[in-house]
Every structure is written in structure tokens, then in C-alpha cells.
Amino acid sequence: MTSINTNNSAMAALQTLRSINSNLETTQNSVSTGYRVDTASDNAAYWSIATTMRSDNKALSAVSDALGLGAAKVDTAYTAMENAIDVVDEIKSKLVAATEDGVDKSKVQEEITQLQNQLLSIAQSASFSGENWVAGESGTKSVVSSFVRDGSGAVSVKVTDYALDTSSTGNVLFGMSSGTIDTASGILGTVDANGDSVYSLDITDFTTGQIQSALSTIESALSAMTSAGAQLGSISTRIELQEDFVGALSDSIESGVGRLVDADMEEESSRLSALQTQQQLAIQSLSIANSSSQNILSLFRS
């Protein structure tokens, strides 16, 4: 039965066209954005995971920047410590030279004094971003090392600590007091049992025995400085390894998120072509269904 009031064929064709247009819109959005899951309505679970992991990846990016800042602080301190060791080595060689008969100790002391001033200059200059790890008060310095999300979902920032010790066997060249370098503390400033320190050493009137004692003080200082340099070097290596890990982890997270939400462009391209063809056929079908009622007019023609 054909009815001019109800066109079932047209309604079916229209419903098919609507479905095709909806799928075509989804596919076109995937092609234009590159995502198959772009909003929560596309896939709430995957969208939620991707949003959380993208947030964590931004935090990792901040950690990477912080690691770079920490590396710069540590490298500055290590460079200062390394140069200070070279200067103390020079002082040591001057002391050895002063033990020879006939050497003018006052002239040797003039050279030592210049080297001592260089040590102070090194300590004063070894500052990065307002922090000095070779001249400072006893306390703990920290650098960001990682961003962690545990199994319960709680997040935290981990740090690597470096405790400053201003004693003669510590890890700073000089201590600090009220924002000013204290040349009477630290590896180079703390006096020994004879009242001498690397920084205050004056051999002008020293006997050979006293010079030998000063050499022992120098050796102790070099041992402490070498140990401090090793600590800084190990932290530098740790930061470098962490930087590599953070970079690899960030890439891994980005890749994992991509697997969840990225569109397969080859598949979407094929689907787009198929849906465009289906759309054209559905429009043609709807046109045929709408025109079928026009055929009834032929029954009333004379």
C-alpha cells in the first residue's frame, strides 16, 4: 500500500542518512584533530587516563628543568673544588721548595699569599642562582631529582640532599657567617693544633720542622677537598642519569598516551572515503523514496 501521508521508505532512508552523517562527523573530527579520543564523550576511561598522564608529563618536564638547574649548581661547585685542589697543590709544592737550604722563605710566602687569595676568590665566585655549595653555613642543600606517582595515586617530588659541613674535614672551603665568608672555618680556614690553616699559613719564619707540620695540614686539606669533589661528582652523575631517565620516561608516557587516544590515520582515511560514498548513496536513496509518492499522480491523469 502506498500512502501520501506516511512515506516509510523516506523515513528509513532519512534514518540511514542521519546515521551516516553522524559517523562521518566523528571520522572528520578524528582526521582533523588526529585523535580518536578527543573528549570524555568519545571514551571516558581512556580520556581520563590520557588527561592524568599528560599532566604527569608536564610535571616531568618541570622536573627536567629543575634537574638542569641542579646540575648547574653542582657543576659550579665541582669546578670550584677542582680548581681549589689545583691551587692547594701549588701551595704544597711551594712548601716542599721552602724546605731546601738557602731558599728565601719570605719570597716563597709572597707566592703562597697570592695562592691563598686565589682560594678565597674561588670560594666567593662559586655561586649559581644565589647558592654557593663551597662556601656556606652548615646545612642541607637539595636538588629536585624526580616526580613520583605511587600505586595509590599520591604524587610527590623527590630530592637529592647535600649536607654542608664547615669543619676541617668537611666539604666546604670556607664557612659563612651573616652572609659573609668566614675565613676561619671550613677546610681551608680551620686552624690545626699549631694554630695554622691553609688560608692563614705564613712560613716566613718557619723552621724545617714547622714546614713539615704545615705540609701535614695541607695533606689533610687535600684529602678533605678530594672527598668533597668525589661527593659532588657522584651527585653530578646521579643527576645526569636522572635527566636521561626523565627524558626516556617522558617519551614513554607520551607514546603510551598516543596508543590510547591517537587516531589511525590510514584507517580513518579509508573510513572517510567509504562514509562519503555511503552519504552520497543515502542522499540518492532518500531522493528516490521522496519521489515515489509523485508516481501516484499518474493514476489520476486522464
Q: How far apart are CA 53 and CA 56, in angstroms?
A: 5
Is 25's pLDDT higher than 90? no
pLDDT per position as a tens digit, 209-266: 999 999 999 999 999 999 999 999 999 998 888 888 888 888 898 999 988 888 878 8
Cα end-to-end span (Å), the chain:
22
pTM: 0.76
Please report the pLDDT score of residue 302 as a whole number: 54
How do residues 153-162 score in pLDDT, each as one tens digit?
A: 677 888 889 9
pLDDT score at 162: 92
Answer whether 219's CB lies under 8 Å from 96's CB: no
Q: Residue 39: is its pLDDT beyond 90? A: no
Please check the confidence at residue 1 and state whether its pLDDT lies above 70.
no
User: Using alpha carbons only, what angle is made at residue 88 by residues 83 and 91, rounded to the nearest 5 degrees?
Assistant: 135
pLDDT surpassing 70 at residue 124: yes
- CA distances (Å), origin 185, targets 18, 45, 253: 83, 60, 48
Rounded distance between C-alpha atoms, residue 35 and residue 43, angstroms: 11
Spatial separation of the C-alpha atoms in residues 275 and 23, rounded to whole Å: 8
Mean pLDDT of the chain: 88
Torsion region of 34: left, alpha or beta (phi above 0 gives left; psi -120 to 50 gives alpha): left
Go through the domains of the chain in sequence order and give each one's CATH number.
44-261 (1.20.1330.10)
pLDDT tens digits, residue range 188-205?
999 988 899 999 999 999
Query: For the segment 261-302, what is each residue's pLDDT rounded down to a tens digit?
Result: 888 788 878 888 888 888 888 888 888 877 777 777 777 765
pLDDT of residue 2: 65
Distance of CA 31 to the CA centre of its chain: 34
Residue 151: band (very low, low, confident or very high) from pLDDT cuts 50, 70, 90:
confident
The percentage of the chain sitting over the pLDDT mark of 70, rounded to a whole number, equals 97
Q: How confident is the model at residue 181 (pLDDT cuts 50, 70, 90)?
A: very high
pLDDT at 301: 66
pLDDT tier for residue 129 given thresholds of 50, 70 and 90 = confident
Q: Give the length of the chain.
A: 302
pLDDT at 233: 93
Q: Are 172 and 133 in contact (CB under 8 A)?
A: yes
Residue 148 vs residue 116, higher pLDDT: 116
